[in-house]
Chain A
């Protein structure tokens, strides 16, 4: 992704406009000066990034090999014990399973729904600007506000959801919502869809608007029906955006914390706990920093491996093929 962008980079500062590609021909002092200038520009960002992002993650990796209560410096080295304990802990294994469940639900239900809405609101429809704005609006609300709001709406019996169901004679349908072991994940997913589908819809809308209308028009003239045009033209050309949307859904599911913490704190009986919540419980409630660090390292490794794999095998396709590169290098 990056290597293709570099080739068409504008001539760098200090390079002669023509024939300047040969950097060795420039005087050494000048190259050193350029390097210094560039370096000075990156210093504030780099320092901030190293101190507050890179060092903490490396430190977490270090601490994950210790048994540590969080005070003083870690001294009780336990090797990979934290990790072996982790993969024997039913709660953590449950976290993995629940993370996977949320990913599957997001990809199987939320994304198709967002896509359908994007296609719908890409047509000439009266008031579509208002709908777009409305569907996206929950994205700007904090997860805490969303969580508190829905914990009241889904309050058993007294909440709006149960009252509405009761009013239309469906008393038995609702019920426990967030407080039921078997219903909590579904309710959580419902709230996540309310909050996030508009975001994915906006991404997909931007993707749709990048598809030249001549293509669908040509297919229409050739006699392709609505579904055929969608299946064979819109969907393939939307590929890069869909893949990005998938990527963000997965990363989002791996690090889900705020919403769960505010609404259920992982309960009832761990049935809505996520990796981040488990980590928080162990780190800041039970002061088992070593074990909690091991969780965060596993979280990091999962995101990292997934991201690398995805970049390498899925997103890479986006730089191949005429149309997508046309969009990419725009």
Chain B
């Protein structure tokens, strides 16, 4: 799209369009090639899941012949897989409810009240933004053991919610501040209490922001590995990442079966992404431009 080459002879609209299209050919090729690189691992896993492991070593690139559905069906018939899906879902929902609930209350106070110590509190939470999970994992483990929260979903939900707070508070506080003070005054004049204003006016108005932070919390919880790995020694509460690692260890020679397992394990996350794409990307860029 350079401009110095201003046309000496006036071109017809069609010629202009054709020239522009020709010039963008390298761009199209570039993104297409990168797109292929991005999608190949996923597609390869999907197709390999339909092969037997013998087929996989002999015929790596071609389509399966015959198509073997057994790898997939065996996993889907296994109650362990569904139990994992269930625990991952339950823990993600619990974490999200707790993070967003506690963060919304705190963000409300930090956004709309003038009180002594407010800045200190907010700084405390924002410092939490840079605590890597790994830093606290040892004492956290000791703490959970003391509380008897090992092999208990709360042992994952509570710390995850705590570590999710800083980001959620930062995003929500920024959003709450943008709601005009006149609305609050009107509500107060009409006899609304602080909590009434929060519950009946602020939260409904903040629905888009709440959606965004919820989606972020769900994805973070869904993918967490270190904490559930340590907390759950028994398979009862294993989440998907823990299950995937165990499955790989157990069937390491049966490559095709692992591929099928991977595909089925990533399907929920990808489906969720397809549905909540806008909130997810909105959340990330919101955190980016405002955090």
Contacts and interface: CB of A to CB of B under 8 A. Distances in A.
Contact of A276 (B37, B119, B132): B132
Interface residues of B, number: 110
Interface stretch (B27-35, B71-79, B205-213): B27-35
B241 interface: yes
Interface string A133-160: 1111110111111001111110000101
Interface in B88-142: 98, 101-103, 105-106, 108-116, 118-119, 121-128, 130-142
A44 B105 contact: yes
Given A134-B35, A194-B41, A304-B130, A152 B163 contact: no
Given A11-B181, A57-B139, A296-B137, A134 B39 contact: yes
Interface SS of B by simple majority? helix
B158 A48 contact: yes
Nearest to A59: B139
B138 A293 contact: yes
Contacts of B225: 142-144, 257-258, 261-262
A2 B137 contact: no
Given A167-B61, A303-B132, A10 B102 contact: no
Contacts of B242: 144
A13 B112 contact: yes
Contact of B108 (A39, A41, A149): A41
Contacts of B137: 279-280, 283, 296
A68 to B, nearest CB: 10
B41 A153 contact: yes
Nearest to A135: B38
A262 B158 contact: no
Contacts of A135: 34-35, 38
A94 B82 CA distance: 41
12 contacts: A34-B115, A39-B109, A44-B105, A49-B162, A52-B159, A56-B136, A63-B138, A117-B31, A205-B285, A223-B4, A255-B133, A307-B130
